[in-house]
Amino acid sequence: MHFPVKKFISYYKPYLKLFLSILSCAFIVSTVTLVYPLLVRYITKDVLEGDLSTALSDVYWIGGLMLVLVAIQNIGNYFVDYRGHEVGARMESDLRSELFAHMQKLSFSFYDKEKTGQLMSRITNDLLLLSELYHHGPEDYVKYLVRFIGAFVILFFINAPLTIAVFCFFPFLGIFALYFNKMLNKALRGNKERIADVNAQVEDSLSGIRVVKSFANEHIEIEKFIRENNRFLDSRKNTYKAEALLYNSFETILQLITITVIIFGSANIVNHTLDLADLITFLLYISFMIEPIQRLTHMSTQFQEGITGFQRFMEIMNLKPSIESKPNAMILHEVQGEIEFNHVSFRYEDHLDNVFVNLSLRIQPGEYVALVGPSGAGKTTLCSLIPRFYDVTCGAVLLDGINVRDINLQSLRKTIGVVQQDVYLFAGTVLENIRYGNPAASEEEIIAAAKNANAHDFIMSLPNGYHSEIGQRGVKLSGGQKQRLSIARVFLKNPPVLIFDEATSALDNESESIIKESLELLAKGRTTIVIAHRLSTIRNAGRIIVLTKDGIVEQGTHDTLLVQNGAYAHLYSKQFELQV
């Protein structure tokens, strides 16, 4: 995958001044480091071989200078290390916030295909090493490039032929780096995909732990985890192989460089073209040339992981939501609640069959409509087209005569309240979960909404009332209690259009009776669509629409449809027989 350099660099912009000061500090530290071998050369070649009467004072003077350089170096290193890591962490935080915000914009179709654990891995593990890459990448390259070029220039003036002989090894280092880094990048990318699979398996198993234990299938989940864990282990083996080949190839060449300097340097001393002080200086500077390569080689795994993480970050960021508001889309103000499906066809993917074809339906403002039919007929799908959770394949969905595609998405969805069978409550308090329906609501408004939803009494019986913690997904509450909180949330939202998606089908008779009363109160004066599994709950609906794979086959009141003795009568009698 092409690495987006321009985008990568853009995240430095908010911290550019601090970042440039860090690079300047790194440059100074590296330049100071280059002075030490020159001072050693001066002592061994000029001071100790010169007038010994002044040698001691010269040594002390140079020692004092070295102490000053040590102070400069340590202060600089402290600044680079502390503030550099801080900048890296801030940039990582910016990336994570941007990725999460972008994920919030992506459409339902994206989440239909992706696993939660995989996405969590991208937003946590993938970005974790980016701070190190952002900090150490430019800083280390500046630091080591200064040392490498400085050492090369100084060595060239000491002994040009020997310097050129040493430099001939570096093209081979470049070739090895390109080849093995490509292999390492592929292995590290595999690691990230495999650990994401492990995360997805853990998230899936732990989220369904009650189902696992109720079926005594712990061994199945353990086997699935071991399978994913072993795939991750195999991926890690490939990484270690690539790392070992890269590191050992580099070490071999670096050792050959040192041997070359010792052999040819010693030969030059014998031939009187190089003295011992210069050979010592040469060896010191060769270590300055070799150290950057060794450090960068050993850090290549970290850099590659950061690069791979950024590439996977960009994969998500480059995804465009399949459903977006048009430029200058309409903002709704007063909504009457008329809904029309105009010759609508829909399928989830191009290669899949249509859920329905050429379906037309009009629901009047304030009308109470029930959708019934066999499982898989598309009842939930049809309702999902109103708030544009999905877009129609053909035709149009209209709200008050306006195509929903021409309405601003947020404005559209604020006019529609959805109560589902599978209630999702967030970790936190009762108050926070109800307030989700209207973040600006006062506590008095929240309590009023809870009373309308028949939730106030049970809330007050909790240890801390409205401030009671309900646990992840509302695990501390019963099904009926969770459903009442979700209804209170919609009361607080106060939308003109309601969709009840089998909101009572999973409840016992007592809970169903309480919630049915709340739903009827909520539905007053609003356009309401009820997807019903228990047909007894929608007998009083103003209109019942029977939806099958053939589309809408019947419409009418409960009594009218029973008299027709068609699809509805068949469903009703079948359900009645099962109850008996």
- Quick one: pLDDT at residue 369? 92
**Does residue 559 sit within a domain?**
yes
Q: Are 483 and 507 in contact (CB under 8 A)?
A: yes
**Does residue 122 sit within a domain?**
yes
In the listed set 478, 494, 510, which residue is the last one of a domain according to the structure?
494
pLDDT tens figures, 317-344: 888 888 888 888 999 888 999 999 999 9
Distance, first Cα to last Cα, the chain: 63
- Quick one: pLDDT at residue 580? 41
- Quick one: pLDDT at residue 182? 73
Residue 481 domain boundaries: 423-494
What letter would DSSP give residue 377?
S
Residue 287 sits in the same domain as residue 364 = no
In the listed set 494, 523, 551, which residue is the last one of a domain according to the structure?
494
Residue 163 sits in the same domain as residue 212 = yes
**Does residue 330 sit within a domain?**
no
Number of domains in the chain: 3
Give phi and psi for 555, each to the nearest 5: -145, 145
Which helix (H) or strand (E) covers residue 14, if one does?
none
Q: Are strands 543-548 and 551-556 parallel, antiparallel or unpaired?
A: antiparallel
Percent of the chain residues topping a pLDDT of 70: 92
Tell me the average confidence (pLDDT) per consecutive run of 10 residues in the chain, 580 residues long: 80 90 90 82 67 68 86 89 86 89 85 79 80 79 83 83 81 74 75 79 73 70 86 83 76 79 80 78 76 67 78 87 88 91 90 87 92 86 91 93 92 88 80 88 90 88 89 77 85 88 63 74 86 79 89 90 88 64
Residue 83 sits in the same domain as residue 72 = yes
Sequence-ordered list of residues with C-beta below 8 angstroms from that of 180, at least 6 positions apart, any chain: 242, 245, 246, 249
Residue 480 sits in the same domain as residue 508 = no
- Quick one: pLDDT at residue 399? 94
Residue 158 sits in the same domain as residue 299 = yes
**Of the candidates 181, 177, 186, the residue with the CA atom closest to the CA atom of residue 235:** 186
State both tokens at 385: 């087209």
Sequence-ordered list of residues with C-beta below 8 angstroms from that of 122, at least 6 positions apart, any chain: 99, 196, 312, 313, 316
Dist. CA 333–CA 400, nearest whole Å: 11
State both tokens at 389: 């959770």
Residue 479 sits in the same domain as residue 501 = no
Model-wide pTM > 0.95: no
State both tokens at 63: 């020692």
Residue 447 sits in the same domain as residue 544 = no
Q: Give the helix ranges, DSSP H, for 439-508.
A: 443-452, 456-460, 479-493
**Does residue 95 sit within a domain?**
yes
Residue 20 sits in the same domain as residue 47 = yes
**Does residue 341 sit within a domain?**
no
**Of the candidates 234, 119, 100, 239, the residue with the CA atom closest to the CA atom of residue 180:** 239
b/e map 197-232, b = 16+ CB within 10 Å: bbbbbbbbbeeeeeebeeeeeeeebeeeeeebeebb
**Does residue 333 sit within a domain?**
no
Secondary structure E strands in 364-485: 368-372, 394-399, 402-403, 416-420
Q: In what order do the strands lie in the sheet with 416-420?
A: 416-420, 497-501, 527-531, 368-372, 543-548, 551-556
Q: What CATH number corresponds to the domain at position 399?
A: 3.40.50.300
Dist. CA 405–CA 211, nearest whole Å: 40
> Residue 247, Cα to own-chain centre: how many angstroms?
32
CB count within 10 Å of CB 258 equals 14
Alpha-carbon torsion, ordered 45, 47, 53, 56, to 10 deg: -130
Residue 580 three-state SS: coil
Residue 366 sits in the same domain as residue 397 = yes
Residue 382 sits in the same domain as residue 257 = no
